Amino acid sequence: MKLIIAIVQDEDAPGLIEDLTEEEYRVTKLASTGGFLKSGNTTLLIGVEDEQVDNVLNIIEDTCKTREITTSLMTVTMPGDTYIPYPLDVKIGGATIFILDVEKYIRV
Amino acid sequence: MKLIIAIVQDEDAPGLIEDLTEEEYRVTKLASTGGFLKSGNTTLLIGVEDEQVDNVLNIIEDTCKTREITTSLMTVTMPGDTYIPYPLDVKIGGATIFILDVEKYIRV
Amino acid sequence: MKLIIAIVQDEDAPGLIEDLTEEEYRVTKLASTGGFLKSGNTTLLIGVEDEQVDNVLNIIEDTCKTREITTSLMTVTMPGDTYIPYPLDVKIGGATIFILDVEKYIRV
Ligand code: NI
Ligand code: NI
Ligand code: NI
């Protein structure tokens, strides 16, 4: 038995939890951090059999992998307060994953 | 030293924390999950000596064991909108428990 | 790789997180406990290389060590409801730290 602790972006958490529960994995969501850390994280606890670890890692990677999106920020570029949309590539997503060995796992 | 991570129902958490602290165990309560997981869970971290593990598991089982209660739901059963209370057995409680080995435990 | 779980007083958490991030450690803050445990705790997850453990423990100890402060409580000491400030030594701070071995650490 392993305990997977996955720290993911708040935006990615609902989709990840849905994907995991669809495949019958049991997920516990810990409330996310206060505001003073950069952007909101969600910490998930996922208890899995040893042979399920790779599948869960694949699911996390599919949903949460760091990816680049192009966003449009408005910037002042001209006299007369004309705003021109300026395309910008930003990185979103990403996950930090710890896998711990579980000595004993019990459900009552 | 072991770290016991116990995920219990919100309703069972206060009684469990009381029982554990009465026996001098030190419990840390993590804030519970958001609403989109089924019913509210509370995650507790309990650091214990190896020889205390069984006692703590017994306390958790006593307080949190899955049990059946009979509840009365109102159901429409008749023409004319008569509501008849309908007894229903539902399962409540339950706990998921991970026991991890602690390499080093420090208090400062 | 090790996972350090540090439970510290709410008051000490911002300073500790600042000190750790200044030295490039990655910290995840879990939301603190409800009100019914004595005073608010913050739980931090810190993933570190084995050789960084001692440095992180030193940082935690510097910021969070139990220390005594002298506070002035007002006490009634005289007839006629005279309030006399009464100096009182109280212990604040402190941290409970679990170090767990990480079987596998992944960032995606
Ligand atoms: Ni195992
Ligand atoms: Ni031990
Ligand atoms: Ni290691």
The answer to whether C99 faces chain B, any CB pair under 8 Å, is yes
Scan for tokens 């109280």, then name that residue: C90
Residue A63 is which amino acid?
Answer: T
Those residues with Cβ within 8 angstroms of residue B106's Cβ, 6 or more apart along the chain or in another chain: C57, C95, C96, C97, C99
Which pLDDT does position A95 carry in this prediction? 94
> Using a CB-CB distance cutoff of 8 angstroms, which residues of chain C are in contact with residue A97?
104-108
d(CA A14, CA B34): 10
Which pLDDT does position B38 carry in this prediction? 53
Tell me the average pLDDT of chain B: 86
| pLDDT one-digit tens code per residue, B29-86 | 987 664 334 568 899 999 999 999 999 999 999 999 989 888 776 666 667 766 777 7
| pLDDT one-digit tens code per residue, A60-99 | 999 999 898 887 766 666 667 667 777 788 888 899 999 9
SS (H, E, C) chain B: CEEEEEEEEHHHHHHHHHHHHHCCCCEEEECCCCCCCCCCEEEEEEEECHHHHHHHHHHHHHHHCCEEEEEEEEEECCCCCCEEEEEEEEEECCEEEEEEECCEEEEC
- Backbone dihedral angles phi then psi of residue A12, each to the nearest 5 degrees: -85, -15
**Helix/strand/coil percentages in chain C, nearest 5:** 25, 50, 25
Which pLDDT does position A37 carry in this prediction? 40
Residue C69 is which amino acid?
Answer: I
DSSP state of A72: E
Which of the listed ranges B30-44, C37-51, C77-91 does the model predict with the highest average pLDDT? C37-51
Residue in A41, A66, A100 nearest the CB of C28? A41
Q: pTM value?
A: 0.84
DSSP state of A39: S
- Which residues lie near ion ligand 3 (Cβ < 5 Å)? C 1
Whether A50 contacts A81, CB under 8 Å = no
Please answer yes or no on whether C31 and B30 come within 8 Å at the CB atom: yes
The length of chain C is: 108
d(CA B91, CA A80): 67
Phi-psi category of residue C66: left, alpha or beta, with phi > 0 → left and psi -120 to 50 → alpha: beta
Q: What is the mean pLDDT of residues C41-45?
A: 91
- Backbone dihedral angles phi then psi of residue A79, each to the nearest 5 degrees: -65, 155
Sorting pLDDT into bands at 50, 70 and 90, what band is C40? Answer: confident
- ∠ CA C60-C61-C62, rounded to 5°: 95
Domains of chain C are 2-65+93-101 (3.30.70.120)
Nearest to C101 by CA among A46, B102, A6, A104: B102
d(CA A97, CA B11): 30
pLDDT of A5 higher than 70: yes
d(CA A98, CA C85): 51
Which of the listed ranges A2-11, B79-88, C74-83 does the model predict with the highest average pLDDT? A2-11
Residue A73 is which amino acid?
Answer: L
| pLDDT one-digit tens code per residue, A20-54 | 999 999 999 987 664 334 568 889 999 999 999 99
Question: What is the count of residue pairs from A and C with beta carbons less than 8 Å apart?
Answer: 67
Those residues with Cβ within 8 angstroms of residue B24's Cβ, 6 or more apart along the chain or in another chain: none
Q: Which two tokens stand for residue B46?
A: 């309990």
> In this predicted complex, what is the ipTM?
0.83
* H-assigned helices in chain A: 13-22, 53-64
Distance between A92 CA and the closest CA of chain C, angstroms: 11
